[in-house]
Structure 1
Amino acid sequence: MTYLKERYVKTDDGAELFVQEEGSGDPLVFIPGYTFTTEVFEKQVSHFSKTHRVIVLDPRSHGRSTVVLHGNDYVTHGADLHAVLKELNVTGAVIAGWSFGCLTAWEYVKQYGFSEVKAMIFVDMPPKSLSADQKDWAEGPLDDISAIYNSSLRDSAGQRAFITSYITQVMVQRELDKDELTWLVEQSLKTPFYVAGNLFASGMFSDCREAAQQAAEQVPTLNIVAEHWAKTAEVYLNTLTPKSKVDVLGGHMMFWEHSEKFNRIVQQFLDETAKK
C-alpha cells in the first residue's frame, strides 16, 4: 500500500505513534481494534482517499508504534488520538473505530468533547463490554472472558491460539487460506502478550455508554454490527442511542472481508452527513 505521508507522533509520555495518511479533503480517521494495525484498513484507504484525507494510526504498542509498558489502556489511547489529531492539524474529523478502537474514540470525546468531530462510526463494539443482564449486547459471559485473560493471554503461544481462534470463528465468515490467516495473526502478534493482557482487561472493563449516548446526540453516528449478534445489538442500540444509524454486515472484520459492501455503507453515511 502506497501512502503519501508516513510519520511518528510523539506523546507527552514518550511513546511514538505510527501514522499514515493519504488523499485530501475532509478528514476520515480509522482506528484499528485490539492488537491490530493500520494494514487491515488497506481497502478503506484505497477507496476513501479518492475523496477524503484518510488517516490511519497504530495505537501505542500496536504495529509500528512504540511498545511500552505504560498507558496500555483506552483512556490513554483516547489521549493519544488527541495528540495525533493535534499534531496533524485535523479539524472536523469523521472518526471511525473498529472493535476496541471504538473505545479509543469514545474515550477521546469523553476527554476532549466534540468540537473537532464532525461524525462518528462505530464498527461492531458494544459501549459496555460486560453485563450481568443477558439481554444486553455484550462481549460474552464473564466466565468466558475470565478464562481468556487468565489462560490464553499468559504467554505468546496462548495469545497466538486465542487470536487464531477468534479470527476463524468470529472475525471472518469464509474459510481463509494459509497465507491470509498467517498474515492476520502476525498483525495481531506485533503486540506482545504481556501488553495484550493489559489491553484486554482495559477493554473488557470499559463502560462508554454515556459517551455513546452523547455522541449520538451531538453528531451523526453510524454503527455497523456483525450478523452473529445483530438482533441483540440492534435492540440495544435502538434503546441506548436511538438517533444512531445501524447497519448489519458480515462478521467482526466485515470491512476487510466484505470491503465493497462496507465501503458503500460508509460512503452513504458520509454523503448524508455532508448534507447536514
Structure 2
Amino acid sequence: MPYYESPVDGTRLHYVDHGPATGPVAVFVASAYLGQEMWEYQMLPLAEAGYRCVALDRRGHGRSDDVWAGYDLDTLAADVHGLLDHLDLREVTLVGHSVGTAEAVRCVTRHGTGRVARLALVSGVSPGLVRSPGLPDGVDPALIDADDQAFRRDRAAYFEASADDFFAVHLPGNEVSPAYARYLIGRCLSASPRAAHGIRALIADLDLTEELPGLSLPVLVVHGTHDASAPLARTGERVARLVPDATLKVYEYGGHGMFVTHADLLTADLRDFLGGGPARNTAPAGSATVPRRG
C-alpha cells in the first residue's frame, strides 16, 4: 500500500496510482470527509483509457494518518505538492472537488506551475462561501455556527439528512441507490472528528478572491445548476470571472455530488481537458459551455 510523508511535518499520507506510467497525468483531490475512493467513476475509466490517475487521502481521511494539526490550507496544499514531488510528476492536471478545489488552487499559487499544467475545479467551494470583506454576499457566519453545532452533535445524522440534497435526487436523472448513499456516508464518517472539524473551519474562513486572478494556466470549472452546498452564482461563476483562462461548464440539474450523478459527463469532459487542449467547444447533452465574462 503506497504512502509518502508530508513535506511539512512528516505525516504519513496514503495515495493510489492507477494506469500507465506514461501519458497525461491527473491528480485528484477529494471533497471534505472523503478520500480517493470518491473518484472511482472518473479514475477507473480514465486509467483504462490510458491516463495515469493519482489520488491521495487527505490527512485525517481514509488511510492517511489521523493527526491533530495541519488542516490549514497552506499545509494541505503542501501535502498535495509533496505527492507531485514524491512521484516526480510533471504536466499534471490537478482535479479538485469541493474544498479540494481550494487545495488545488493554493498548491499552484504557493508552489508554482513547475509540475502543474492545468486545473479542473469540480463543484468547488472556491473562492469561498461565508461572508467576509472579500465575499460581502456570502453566507451569514451565524448560520455556519448553527450548522457546525448540528454537525458536532451527531455527524451520522447530519450526513444522512444531507444526502438527498448533496445528490439533488429530486431532480431528473439524479438517481443514486440507497446502498450507495449509505456507502458514501460510511466513508464520510471514516474521517476523524478532528479532521472533519478542521476542514469545516477552513471552509468557514476561505477567501481566494485575491489569488484566482493570478492563475496563469488553463482552468476548467465544472458546476451544477442545483448545487445546494456551493451555489453556482457564488462559486463556479465567480471563479470563471476571476481566472484569466477559465472555461465554465454548467451541468443541468447537477447537485454537489456530480461525480456520481453526472459521472459519465464529467469523465468525458476531464478526458478532453487532460488531452492538453481546451474543453470541448460543443457541450454534451446536459451541460452548457459558458465563456469567461469580464
TM-score, normalised to structure 2's length?
A: 0.82
Could you say what secondary structure the match of 1:213 adopts?
helix
Give the Cα separation in 2 of the matches to 1:171 and 1:34: 15
Query: Structure 1: which amino acid aligns with 2:13?
Result: L
Give the equivalent residue in structure 2 for 1:168: 164
Quote how far apart the aligned CAs of 1:37 are.
1.1
Secondary structure class of the residue paired with 2:121: strand
Partners in 1 of 2:3 and 2:10 — Cα distance? 11
Contact 2:26 2:274 in 1 (8 A): no
Q: Give me the whole-angstrom Cα distance separating, in 2, the residues matched to 1:238 and 1:26.
A: 24
Q: Percent identity?
A: 24
Q: What is the CA deviation profile of residues 40-92 of structure 1, one whole-angstrom value per residue up to 9, with x for unaligned ones?
A: 11111112112211101101001111110011222211010111111111111
- 1:99, CA displacement in angstroms? 0.3
How far apart are residue 202 of structure 1 and its match? 1.2
SS in 2 for 1:80: helix
Distance 2:6 2:240 in 1: 37
Name the structure with the higher helix share.
Answer: 1
Instruction: State whether structure 2 residue 213 is matched by structure 1 residue 205.
Output: no
How many residues are matched? 264
Structure 2 portions without partners, runs of 5+: 280-294
| SS of corresponding position for 1:59 | coil
DSSP 3-state at the match of 2:259: helix
1:161-217 deviations in Å (ceiling 9; x for gaps): 2222332213343464332121010111111223311210112202222332222xx
1:1-276 matched pairs, under 5 angstroms: 6-12=1-7, 13-24=9-20, 25-49=23-47, 50-125=49-124, 126-131=126-131, 138=138, 140-149=139-148, 151-155=149-153, 158-173=154-169, 174=174, 176-215=176-215, 218-228=216-226, 229-231=231-233, 233=235, 235-241=237-243, 243-249=245-251, 250-271=254-275, 273=277
SS at match of 2:190: coil
Deviations 1:221-265 (A, max 9, x none): 000012123355465234322531001121111022211111122
User: What CA distance in whole angstroms lies between the structure 2 residues aligned with 1:271 and 1:110?
Assistant: 23
Residues 212/137 of structure 1: CA separation in 2 closer, same or farther (3 Å cut): farther
Is the Cα–Cα contact under 8 Å of residues 165 and 255 in structure 2 kept in the other structure? no
CA RMSD between the two structures: 2.4
Unmatched runs of 5 consecutive residues or more in structure 1: 1-5
CA distance in 2, matches of 1:191, 1:234: 26
Q: Secondary structure at the match of 1:36?
A: coil
What amino acid is aligned across from residue 181 of structure 1 in structure 2?
A
Say whether the 8 Å CA contact 1:95–1:120 is kept in structure 2: yes
Contact 2:237/2:248 (<8 A) preserved: no
Is residue 35–residue 188 contact of structure 1 (8 Å, CA) maintained in 2? yes
